[in-house]
Amino acid sequence: MDAMTRKPILPARDRRRLPGAIRFYSVFAYVTGVFLLLLVAEMVLKYVPWHDGYGYEVFANTQHGVQLVSADPVFVESAQGVNLSIGVLIVHGWLYVVYLIADFRLWTLLRWPLKNFILIALGGVVPFLSFIVEHFMSARARRDLADANRRAEEHDTAIAALRAQVAADAATAGSAAADGTGSDPGGAAPETAASDAAAREPR
C-alpha cells in the first residue's frame, strides 16, 4: 500500500482518552434516548385532543402528587406544582447538547468521516435510533481502538528493530575500522616484500 493512502496511527494521548470517550457516549446515548421517548409520550399526551378538544399536561405537587391537567391554558395557568411536561422538554434539550459533545469527542478522537457524526447526532432526535446507533457505533469504536493499539505496537516494534539494526551496523563498521588501522590489509609488511623481491632477482 502506498504511504500516502495508509491510515494514520492515532497518537498515544488519543488512544488513552478513547475508552472514557466511548463510555461517555454510551451513557448519554441511553439517557438521551430515554428522555426522548418521554418527550414523545408527553407530546402525544399534550397535543392529542383526549377531552374537550384538549390534551393533558403532567403536573407534580406535594398535595396530589403526579396528576394530569387539561392542556386548556385556563387550567394550566391555575394548576399548582411543577409542570413535568415542560421539565421533560428542558431536560431533553440539555441532555441532547451533552450528547452532541460526546458525539463530537468520539468523532474527533477516532478521525471518523462526517457521516458518522451526523448519524450519531440523529440518534438524539429520532425515537429509538439512539439505542441502535449506540450499539453499532460503540462496537465499531472499540474495534477501531483495538486496531489502533495493534498498529501502534507494530510500529513501535518496527522502529525498535530498525534502531537495533542501525546500532549493530554502526558497531560492526567501527570494529572493522579499528582492525584495519594496525596492519596492511595485503598481509606482508613493506620490508618483507622488498626482501623477497630482491632474492628472486637474477644475479
Tens of pLDDT, residue by residue over 72-114, are 887 888 787 888 888 999 999 999 999 999 999 999 999 999 9
In a domain, 163, yes or no: no
> Grid coordinates standing for 90?
428542558
The amino acid that residue 26 corresponds to is S
The per-residue pLDDT for 177 is 79
Let me know if residue 194 belongs to a domain.
no
Angstrom distance (rounded) from CA 51 to CA 68:
12
Does residue 162 lie within any of the structural domains?
no
Which domain, by its residues, includes 106? 7-156
Task: Say if 197 falls within a structural domain.
Answer: no
187-196 pLDDT tens trace: 444 444 444 5
Which residues lie closer than 8 Å to 92 by C-beta, 6 or more apart?
32, 35, 36, 38, 39
Does residue 186 lie within any of the structural domains? no
Would 174 be classed as within a structural domain?
Answer: no
User: Does residue 60 sit within a domain?
Assistant: yes
Give domain status of residue 18, yes or no. yes
Stretch 9-29: mean pLDDT, rounded? 93
Q: CA-based diameter of the chain, in Å?
A: 143
Cβ partners under 8 Å of residue 145, min gap 6: 15, 18, 19, 22, 110
The tally of domains found in the chain comes to 1
- What are residue 45's phi and psi, to 5 degrees? -65, -35
Cα-flanking dihedrals φ and ψ of residue 125, to 5°?
-125, -10
The pLDDT > 90 percentage for the chain reads 45
